[in-house]
Chain A
Amino acid sequence: MGLMTALLVAILTGGGAWLMMRKNLFELLLGLGLFSHGINLFLMSMGGWSATEEVPLPSDHLTPDRYADPVPMALILTAIVIGFGVTAFLIVLASRGYEETRDVNLGEAVGQEGEE
């Protein structure tokens, strides 16, 4: 389980990083999405896993160690929400930027300060 998660984390973060380092605006968005997935899973793996654990809806007859760890879950939930807001914002920003510049390439075309 840990190994499979780690592999998934590795390909998602690595692939996300690869796309983020490219100049295409759209690829940047895709890369950001992949990267967030990878990071969320990474957080999840920090909580550990065991086959016998229960969903963290604590009832009265089980001791705490029988439940999965709710802390990473809460963190990830927050991360997903923020990620959603930021992604939505970026998508509109991207579409707006493209309308202005007719260019999907980031970088040189965006900040033109010229030679000093």
Chain B
Amino acid sequence: MNCWSETILRNDPTARSHLPQLAMLPLLLAIPFIGAALCAALSFANLSRRTPWIITMVTTVAGLAVLANLTGVLPGPSDVEFFRPWVAEIGLNFSLWLDGPAVFFAWLVLGLGALIFFYAGFYMDPGDSPWRFFGTMLFFMGSMLGVVLSKNALLMFVFWELTSISSFILIGHWHEKEGARRGAVRALVVTAAGGLCLLAGLALLLFKMHDAGIPIASALEWDVLWANRAMISGEFWVMVLLLIGAFTKSAQFPFHFWLPGAMEAPTPVSAFLHAATMVKAGIYLLGRIYPIFSSEVTWLAIVGGAGVLTMLIGGFMAILSHDLKQLLAHSTVSQLGLLTAYYGFGHGQVGTDHLLKMDLLLIGSHAFFKGALFMLVGVIDHATHTRDWTKLGGLIKSMPVTGVLVILGCASMAGLPLTFGFVAKELFLHQALHLETDIPVLKYGLPAIAIVASFFTAAYCYRAAISPFFGKPRDSHIHAHEGGIGLLISPAILILLCVAGMWVPLLEKPFSALINAEFYDTKTGFHLAFFHHVDMLLAVAALIFGAGLVIFFYGRKIERLYAGAGNPAPFRGSFDVGFDKWIPAFAKKTVHIVQSQSLAWNLTLALGVIFGAVIFVLASTDVRPVVTLLSFELKLMMVSVFIMSLICLYVVLTHPVLLYRLIAMSPIGLFVSLTFLVYKAPDLALTQLLVEVVTLVVFLLLLWRLPQRTVRQGTPLPMTVLRGAVAVAVGVSFGLLSLLAYASPWREQSTLPGWPSTHEYYLTNTKYPMGAHSADGGAALAAAAAQNGYPMGEPARSGGGYNAVNVILVDFRGIDTMGEILVLGMAGMGVFLMMTFHRRRPSALSIKQSRDQVARLQGNDDSPILTTNPVIKHPMWAGPSLILAQTTRLLPPAMFVFAAVLYWTGHNEPGGGFIAGLMVSVGIALYFLAFSPKRVSELHTDKYLSLIPAGMAIAIGTGLVAVVLGHPFLTSAFKYIKLGPLGTLGLASPAAFDLGVFLVVVGMAMLIIEKFRKE
């Protein structure tokens, strides 16, 4: 099985003879990318600045050779396909094909690419970043090939986005110019926004196809979509989203404004991307979805409507342009409108009428003459250093070849007989006059607009062909000369193709071959006509040419009228201004909302979004069965816990005095601890209890330096309501989730048949496999384990202790615990750093504050803070309580002993290193509360700071011992030692690990006490 074996060959019994060809299709796609990569890689080498151009030409010619090998020189569709699943779960496959349109566009991209790249070699200044320029051009060419060769709609989207990106880079090639930067950003924002719509549309399409029972893996292949078009043709929003994608790419109204701005790019870029190929990607997409949606009348209204409006606006803008390149840019907008409208007019004609199949001919004709004209304007620009037709004139004498070529190109653009453009115009007018609809607005409105727009088309063609070349030179400083052969050869070839009316028989074969593929498959051939029949079309065409002439002559007058109306930049201008003004404003506003400087607001937003979504999901979940599952056994203790918690919570939430809120926090922690007890989790209860005590002490130490009353801020009511709603959402979400989880505890869900649940696994392995015990349950499980081959019973896996929770912590999940004490250690270091940082740089504020503190301690403080502090003074100074002091003489030593016991027994009974560490910390805190700072300093807490690193070192060292012995990190080992009356000592390596945990916790407590003691 070689890697091409998945490639499918259709309808070809002689598949074997084609095998070398199978690699050709992906190779064809890869070639431009290889060239681009080569340009990127070699750009660092010290090579001639001509090299990238040579690489580009070689690459393109190689691509053409491969394509010709696949399709024949007179191209026809090929049966070769390439298929590899990529992310089949979302319908994304790497599938390429060569149906009619794909072949046509591939030839267009590579062929025009070769001509334009050749031209670019003479046009571009060799010192003008040639590596970046040609590398990006090749990258674009590859992306564009990907768009047209993809058989999968999602794969097409991937390449679609790549064309947007390369277009962005190329428009901004001269990024020193502000106009280029702005044009590039504008093009990127518009096309990327459209790309997102396209993606959304494809996702929706995927869902619809899935609902219709189509397997996801193949749902987004074009042929599958077409075959199932009856099921999806009515999906209005899918259609709209896909159309937005197409319209943004092809600069259709109302997204037309980015294309003229993109003309800041070097001329070869304009000719290749923004006239001949990339802007055709949207048209291409229209062609692909045309069979699916065109039966809907909304298709006619939207596509036809947008098309003719774009035609009109583009044409109008073109006759107002003085810059020849801008004129061509607007004419491109207008012509793209024509192509779009052509697809719109095809409404109701799938498989019935042969005319729509000529869409490729329209596209090709436009690509030829528009690519050529852009290049020729570049030649004029080179020769005269201006593109302003109001300054040019009489160039036909000094630039005869260019002049003739431009005139011929414009003739094709205008659709004069004997040109390709003529055929295209005939087809378009025929379509426009034969709409398949009974809605009068559409049936007569659309053709009317289209014909009026054609007046402008004719007018700007006259303008471009006549104004620069005839009459007297309007600016005597211009000394024109003919362009070199290198610049002229490419446009000359394209113009020759445009006037190929004489070549009918030659062209007919390839085109009829192309259109016979798939949806373009009526077997009837067709005949291209290059002369008018005497019919209504002739009359309309005559009308257009005449009206165009009138507009041409009165063009300057129209211009003045328009400028007189006080709006020199119509349509495009207002869109530009809107874009430059509103998009940044929108961005600023959005950032202000989602990323404001306020932590409180950011949190509100995040919680609101997350739990809004959770509520949304829960709302569609049926929770009633869960509720009936629950036994409403009202344990009295839990009810009282709940009620008391509620009361405490009320105080915490609302009381203005901080001390009370803090004190109310404590019982809540104790109630949580009680709940843990009810859940049979003594370790948790003990830990929670101790943590609560330590936290309370630390909180109290903080409290005395904060203002005692919460100043009620004037929060606006909507804000309060919003916060309340979010808080309720959070509470309800977690409450419901808790219920849901409770009703189906995870222990009952063993994910693999034959394997134990986690619950079972940990409980069994905690002790049973030690062997010395006659374990009934364990034996059964061990037998099952042996049968199923899971690792139960391996000595290395068993914890050798009775306390399942602690064994999990220090053994099974030892690395988690390692991470945990590292976090603890880091928190301790953070505390330490903040402390020392403070000592070295006492700010004016803190000096003042220390003075305040002294004053407060001396009881004669009159600072405003203390006046808001009716309750406490320094907690250490609350007056040494005799009882507390006396108790403290006895209690902490007892606590230390108890801590030792907890540590000792932790592996088998509730306890462990962490709890022991907390116990010691509480003992120390007790000293701290009971005695004066002076007395506490005798404890020399600062000497214990090194406990944290020591603890970490022990914990890590324990793990490393196992590594040294050749086991995985933290593998545990244990040995039982009989100690007579003291029982059996499990001398397990986890004990050493636990010691590390213990030391880190004690060190942390010492640090915090140190921090406050010094003040």
Contact = CB atoms under 8 A, between A and B. Distances in A.
Given A6-B739, A27-B710, 8 more contacts: A6-B738, A9-B731, A13-B735, A22-B600, A46-B741, A69-B745, A106-B600, A108-B598
Contact of A1 (B600, B678, B728): B678
Interface string B593-635: 0000111110110010000000000000000000000111111
B811 to A, nearest CB: 11
B642 A68 contact: no
Interface in B661-702: 661-662, 665, 668-669, 671-672, 675-676, 678-684, 687-688, 691, 694-695, 698-699, 701-702
Contacts of A74: 805, 808-809, 813
A52 to B, nearest CB: 10
B1008 A58 contact: no
B418 to A, nearest CB: 60
24 contacts: A2-B738, A8-B638, A8-B675, A9-B731, A12-B672, A26-B706, A34-B649, A34-B652, A37-B672, A40-B672, A41-B672, A42-B737, A51-B633, A57-B908, A58-B768, A60-B776, A61-B776, A63-B776, A68-B680, A74-B808, A81-B820, A87-B698, A99-B705, A106-B600
Given A22-B600, A58-B802, A96 B834 contact: yes
Contacts of B759: 64-65, 69-71
Interface in B798-841: 802-805, 808-809, 813, 816-817, 820-821, 823-824, 826-828, 830-831, 834-835, 838
Interface of A: 1-24, 26-30, 33-34, 37-42, 44-49, 51, 53-65, 67-71, 73-74, 76-78, 80-89, 91-96, 98-102, 104-108, 110-113
A44 B673 CA distance: 11
A88 B1004 contact: yes
Given A69-B745, A70-B763, A44 B645 contact: no
Given A18-B724, A30-B662, A92-B831, A42 B738 contact: yes
A82 B823 contact: yes
Given A12-B645, A96-B834, A88 B600 contact: no
A107 B600 contact: yes
B734 interface: yes
A38 B513 CA distance: 71
A71 B633 CA distance: 25
Nearest to A109: B597
B90 interface: no
Main secondary structure of the interface of B (DSSP, over half): helix
Contacts of B694: 84
Given A12-B649, A33-B695, A55-B682, A70 B599 contact: no
Given A45-B741, A60-B768, A88 B698 contact: yes
A104 B820 CA distance: 30
Contact of B804 (A2, A9, A70, A107): A70
Contact of A99 (B639, B713, B846, B1004): B846
Interface of B: 597-601, 603-604, 607, 630-635, 638-639, 641-642, 645-646, 649, 652-653, 658, 661-662, 665, 668-669, 671-672, 675-676, 678-684, 687-688, 691, 694-695, 698-699, 701-702, 705-707, 710, 713, 723-724, 726-728, 730-739, 741-743, 745-748, 756, 758-760, 762-764, 766-768, 773-778, 781, 802-805, 808-809, 813, 816-817, 820-821, 823-824, 826-828, 830-831, 834-835, 838, 843, 845-846, 849, 908-910, 914, 1001, 1004, 1008, 1011
A67 B654 CA distance: 41
Contacts of B773: 60
B630 A3 contact: yes
Contacts of A55: 680-682, 910
A30 B699 CA distance: 10
Nearest to A76: B684
A41 B762 CA distance: 21
A92 B1008 contact: yes
Contacts of B776: 60-61, 63
A14 B645 CA distance: 13
B675 A41 contact: yes
A80 B683 CA distance: 11
A1 to B, nearest CB: 6
A53 B635 CA distance: 15
A64 B763 contact: yes
Contact of B766 (A29, A46, A58, A101): A58
B778 A60 contact: yes
Contacts of B732: 10, 14
A87 B694 CA distance: 11
A105 to B, nearest CB: 8
B638 A62 contact: no
A93 B834 CA distance: 7
A78 B816 contact: yes
A56 B691 contact: no
B652 A64 contact: no
A49 B747 CA distance: 11
Contacts of A86: 823, 827
Most buried by A among B680, B688, B759, B776: B680
Nearest to A63: B777
B827 A88 contact: yes
A55 to B, nearest CB: 5
A19 B746 CA distance: 32
B652 A30 contact: yes
B1003 to A, nearest CB: 11
B527 to A, nearest CB: 64
Contacts of A69: 745-747, 758-759
A17 B727 contact: yes
Contact of A56 (B632, B736, B781, B804): B804
Contact of A80 (B638, B687, B813, B1008): B687
Contacts of B702: 91-92, 94-95
B747 A48 contact: yes
A45 B727 contact: no
Nearest to A5: B738
A11 B731 contact: yes
Contacts of A113: 597
Nearest to B778: A60
B808 A85 contact: no
A6 B728 contact: no
Contact of A4 (B635, B669, B684, B813): B635
A37 B668 contact: yes
A111 B600 CA distance: 13
Contacts of A64: 756, 759-760, 763-764, 777, 781
B914 A77 contact: yes
A98 B741 CA distance: 41
Contacts of A68: 679-681
Given A5-B738, A78-B817, A30 B661 contact: yes
Contacts of B775: 60
A5 to B, nearest CB: 6
Nearest to A23: B600
A88 B850 CA distance: 22
A65 B745 CA distance: 12
Given A46-B746, A55-B681, A70 B808 contact: yes
B731 A14 contact: yes
